[in-house]
Amino acid sequence: MPDTIPADAHAMIIGAMKCGTSSLYDYLCGHPEICPSKTKEPEFFSKNERHGINAVNYHDLFSFDGSKHTYTLEASTGYTKYPREPNVPRNIYEYGILPKFIYLIRNPFDRIQSHYNFMQWDDHWTLDIIDHHLINTSNYFLQLERYKPYFPMNRFLILDFDDLKNNPSGLLRDIYNFLGLSHSYFPDHYEVANQSPMSGIEKKLKNIKIDRLCSHLPASFRHTLRVALGKIFPATKRELTDAEREYIFNQLRKSMQRLHELYGIDIQKWGFGP
């Protein structure tokens, strides 16, 4: 039986989607003081994420051993998708745990493009690239504000996707310091996980009815086949137009300024200035 987990022995990567959360989760899972979740994105405290898993008790997601583990770890990007997920911070608080939160952020325009292109693989996806759901997910100040009534901000570590990409070992050191973990472990390789597929590939696959032809095959094999075909067919990604960028800029401008003022985030490199 897993050990009882102290209320403050939880760490959560709470997003943002398409900011490297899968890669960071993979890097951290190898640390001997980390007890990873049985699935990367359980979405236990979310209500509208279809990829979550069913679990009655949050602690059932972990095989925690108090003799060696300091923190549990999961990475549910639905935890920073307000207002689509309206009550995540309250749900966490009312469950009675006091996690430490790791929040990866990224150039908001790049994040929206990546989010949109990634979702083209989902047959249920119908949203436009400037839909408010995508813009709100890039509104990092809005997402953090939802947590402030429930958790002190010293339990949050805000990290930049660029640092994860360019200096992953340095970023891990920052996380180890934040969590009070030893610096004894670093991955041998830093590989990118969960990269966005190309929307152009998906359209070509649908045109040749590959999904119908392979519907009887296991999902894992269909995914492998898609990746293989993706190397054959030329693919294009949807990019924001100048008009769409201007619209997003106007939607996010005030929140980005507040993000800079309260959290010291460099917003000028994203095109948002004082």
Instruction: Give the pLDDT score at 238.
Output: 93
Strand 156-160 and strand 100-105: the pairing is parallel
Higher pLDDT, 255 or 203: 255
Instruction: Give the pLDDT score at 228.
Output: 60
Instruction: Give the pLDDT score at 273.
Output: 82
Instruction: Give the pLDDT score at 206.
Output: 45
Within 10 A of 272 (CB to CB), how many other CB atoms are there? 19
Q: What is the mean pLDDT of residues 135-154?
A: 98
Question: Distance of alpha carbon 98 from its chain centroid, rounded?
Answer: 20
Cβ contacts of residue 192 below 8 Å, gap of 6+?
A: 20, 23
Alpha carbons 183 and 90: distance in angstroms, whole number: 33
Residue 219's pLDDT band (boundaries 50, 70, 90)?
low
Mean pLDDT score of the chain: 89
Instruction: DSSP for 115-133, please give it.
Output: HHHHHTT-TT----TT-HH
Specify whether the CB–CB gap between 78 and 43 falls below 8 A. Answer: yes
Instruction: Give the pLDDT score at 122.
Output: 83
Instruction: Give the pLDDT score at 207.
Output: 44
Residue 237's pLDDT band (boundaries 50, 70, 90)?
confident
Instruction: Give the pLDDT score at 2.
Output: 53
Instruction: DSSP for 49-113, please give it.
Output: -TT----SSGGGG----TTT-SEEEEE-GGGG-TTTSTTHHHHHHHHT---EEEEEE--HHHHHH
Instruction: Give the pLDDT score at 233.
Output: 47
Instruction: Give the pLDDT score at 211.
Output: 55
Q: What is the mean pLDDT of residues 2-14?
A: 91
Q: What is the mean pLDDT of residues 108-117?
A: 97
Instruction: Give the pLDDT score at 191.
Output: 81
Question: Distance of alpha carbon 244 from its chain centroid, rounded?
Answer: 23
Instruction: Give the pLDDT score at 194.
Output: 67
Helices (H), 149-218: 161-166, 168-179, 199-207, 210-213
Alpha carbons 63 and 40: distance in angstroms, whole number: 14
Q: By percentage, how much of the chain surpasses pLDDT 70? A: 83
Q: By percentage, how much of the chain surpasses pLDDT 90? A: 76
Q: Is the peptide bond before 83 cis (omega within 30 degrees of 0)?
A: yes
Quote the tokens at residue 250.
């106007």
Taking phi first (over 0 means left), then psi (-120 to 50 degrees means alpha), and beta for anything else, what does residue 182 get? Answer: beta
